């Protein structure tokens, strides 16, 4: 997970992929838009065709709100706001090939 020392867990059942994590952010990002991150979605879990993967992250106070957008090539971009030390729940679901 970008801006964290933890991973997002991906589970595939048939063609459905779910993503979940509970992380602590290690850096700040403020109102970023379509910022490319180095992390990728592994082969076998990537969204198919014209679909996209969306993983949403929020904290319980509303101060942190962001989403990760993934492409069929596995690339991801980050949009939103996050602050160091905030605990964030992340979830997502998409169709894969």
Distance (Å, rounded) from C-alpha 48 to C-alpha 1? 21
Domains of the chain as residue ranges with CATH? 9-95 (2.60.40.1830)
The model carries a pTM of 0.88
User: In the predicted model, is pLDDT for residue 97 greater than 90?
Assistant: no
Q: What is the mean pLDDT of the chain?
A: 93
Q: Which residues pair with 4 in a beta bridge?
A: 25
User: In the predicted model, is pLDDT for residue 54 greater than 80?
Assistant: yes
Name the pLDDT band for 62 (thresholds 50, 70, 90).
confident
- pLDDT at residue 88, as a whole number: 94
Instruction: Return the structure tokens found at 52.
Output: 């996209």
């Amino acid at each position: 997970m970008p801006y964290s020392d933890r991973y997002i867990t991906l589970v595939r059942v048939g063609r459905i992929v779910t993503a979940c994590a509970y992380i602590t952010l290690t850096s700040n990002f403020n109102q970023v838009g379509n910022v490319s991150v180095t992390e990728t979605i592994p082969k076998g879990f990537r969204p198919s065709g014209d679909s996209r993967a969306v993983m949403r992250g929020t904290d319980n106070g509303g101060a942190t709100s962001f989403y990760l957008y993934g492409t069929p090539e596995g690339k991801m971009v980050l949009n939103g706001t996050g602050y160091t030390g905030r605990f964030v729940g992340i979830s997502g679901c998409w169709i894969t090939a």
